[in-house]
Chain A
Amino acid sequence: MNITNRLKSTEVTVSALAALLAAGAFLMPAWLSFLLTLALAKALVVLGVVLQMRAGLVSFGQALFYCIGGYGVGLGAQSLGIADAFALLALGTAAAVLLALICGFLLTRYREIFFAMLTLALSMILYGVLVKSSALGSTDGFNVAPPSFLGWVPEGDARKQAVYLLTVVIAAAAVIGFNRYLKSGLGRVMEAIRENEIRVDYLGLSPRRLLFANYVFAAAISALGGGLTAIASGHIDPDMAFWATSGEFVFIAILGGTGHVAAPFIGAIVFSVIRTFAIQEAPHTWQMALGLVLIALILFLPKGLWSLVSRKHTKAGNTPAAKEATA
């Protein structure tokens, strides 16, 4: 099967799954659709982490863009009086892209632990600023008014369903779009940069410029996740930029794996389910459950949950598709 057909088959599968999830909006209990909304939004943020991991960089400060996306939505609604969900999300994402265009100049000079620590530092600067900003509610943050959807203002249950449906649609579009990106020349060259920058340079390409582009894409998708989270939860606070939040995104990235664009979505949903039940069963020691999961994962599934899917592919036949999935 050639690449075009493979892309198409992935896109059909994703669309079908999205339709199924969308149909579920009217069947599943409210707590479940809320959990899924937050999990999918989180997955978009993690996708930003995964994009960079594939290029060999671990962002320990992706919460920076998650928070910018959230505050972009919150401030757009509160200060600028924008009501439309799409306009608010676009605003949060644009703010993150702008910031990434500035930070990118500094960050693309660094690799490995230096890159990780710098991303962390930048996110903690934002955290520090927000905590001290009494106009933005300091540590308490502020509430985000329910938005309208292209003029439609849903009430009651319909409001949550609308946010859920919007998240499902955006997540599906992101999976399809970024799947194309990861399989494109540009996306594959990112893996080459991870493997050997000197060779990439001698092939006539600038690793720094390409990493810069990748960094901006990652910022945009993470901000979109942050914006959706703000709309879904109706509240934002500086913890969105806290280092532990970034750590959670890295955790989910490892949980899902970096083998496929769908991996962070599987990771985020599994993570949310584990955490929800862990908090319910062990309210004071729930972090321990997550810790044990992480240890088990590193021992048994170092390439994340996605390796369960790709391993099945490989067994079914040594197809190029399977190889690409494990690459």
Chain B
Amino acid sequence: MSTILETRGLTRTFGAVVAAKDLNVRIDHGEIVGVIGSNGAGKTTFINMVTGYLPPSGGDILFDSRSVLGLAPREITRRGMARSFQVAQLFPQLTVIENALISLVAAEGPWPSFLRPLDTPERRAHAEAILEDFGVTPYRDAVTSTVPQGARKLVDIAMALVSNPRMLLLDEPTSGVSVEEKCPLMDTVMAVVRKHGVTVLFVEHDMEIVARYVTRIMAFYSGEIIADGSPRSVLGDAKVQELVIGHHFDLDLLGEPA
């Protein structure tokens, strides 16, 4: 399998705090990678650097073997790497379908689509199909700020997927969502992601959720990756259990090894 994302010696410091320390990561096409780590371990810093939001202090980032260092988020998005946010980044005063329509017109890229009306029948049909995929059709015409948190997280991810990215970075897709809703939400997301054949990296605090969906786990601890491998090996790692999970993790919860 070929590498889609690679970081070489990626480092970021905030004053005396080292948020990322010499990160060397290789992610292959089609992988579903879970990122775990306590708050402040450097997970979001990693995503922010890779997507161009935060300039690294050192190192290089290669997406599809080309450096994306110094590119703006919009340029990285156009190369095929999209992200969602820990706190859903939406257009709160617009309706859910308008959020989707604007994502579509942006992805169409932008001229001459920009000159035509936003809400054409073709674009609306496309936007409705996207909302259907994510199960948020009931909120189609609701003002986005009024819909429940879970639906907003889904809209956020839907907007990231509209540009047909080859890689998707999900920053805590289930944060702020009740425990019972977490699995259904992830099931919905992963079903769409599999349909699109996207490589996924997602940050998650709930170990059962992580173990359920990923093919690989990276454990962050104070800016470093202390374990990287199959869910079984990482979650069974004594150091990870001590520093990241904080308790013994029962590997039986993972079920049979694949």
Residues of chain A whose beta carbon lies under 8 Å from any beta carbon of chain B = 2-4, 7, 180, 183-189, 191-192, 195-196, 198-206, 320, 323-324, 327
Cβ B90 vs Cβ A204 within 8 A: no
Give the interface SS of chain B, mostly helix, strand, loop or mixed: mixed
* Chain A residue, CB-CB nearest to B99: A192
Q: Interface of B with A (CB < 8 Å)?
A: 51, 53, 72-74, 77-78, 82-83, 89-95, 98, 101-103, 105-110, 113-121, 141, 159-160, 162-163
B108, B109, B115, most chain A CB atoms within 10 A: B115
Contact of A205 among B74, B82, B101, B120 (CB under 8 A): B74
Given A185-B113, A187-B118, A199-B91, list of 8 further CB < 8 A pairs?
A: A3-B119, A185-B102, A185-B118, A189-B105, A196-B90, A199-B90, A203-B162, A204-B74
CB distance from A46 to the nearest CB of B (A): 22
Contacts of A7 on B, CB cut-off 8 Å? 117
Q: Are B105 and A202 in contact (CB under 8 A)?
A: no
Query: Between A and B, how many residue pairs show CB distances below 8 Å?
Result: 106
* Contact A327-B94, Cβ < 8 Å, known A185-B105, A188-B102: yes
Q: Do B74 and A199 touch (CB < 8 A)? A: no
> Which A residue sits closest to B113, measured CB to CB?
A185
Question: Are A195 and B92 closer than 8 Å at their CB atoms?
Answer: yes
- Judging by beta carbons under 8 Å apart, are B114 and A191 in contact? no
Please state if A204 and B163 are interface contacts (CB–CB under 8 Å): yes
Query: Is there an interface contact between A188 and B74, defined as CB atoms closer than 8 Å?
Result: no
In the bound complex, do residue A191 and residue B117 qualify as a contact, i.e. CB atoms below 8 Å apart?
A: no
Contact yes or no, B51 A202, CB < 8 A: yes
Interchain residue pairs with CB less than 8 A apart (14)? A180-B117, A184-B115, A188-B98, A189-B114, A192-B102, A195-B92, A196-B90, A202-B82, A202-B160, A203-B74, A203-B106, A204-B77, A204-B106, A323-B95
Given A202-B77, A202-B160, A205-B110, are A183 and B94 also a contact pair (CB < 8 Å)? no
- Rounded to whole Å, the gap between the CB of B109 and the closest CB of chain A is 7
Q: Is the CB of A192 within 8 A of B163?
A: no
Q: Are A201 and B73 in contact (CB under 8 A)?
A: yes
Q: Which residues of chain B have C-beta atoms less than 8 A from A320's C-beta?
A: 119
Taken together as a complex, chains A and B put the C-alpha atoms of A186 and B101 apart, in Å, by 12
Point out the residue from B89, B102, B115 that lies within 8 Å of A198, measured CB to CB: B89
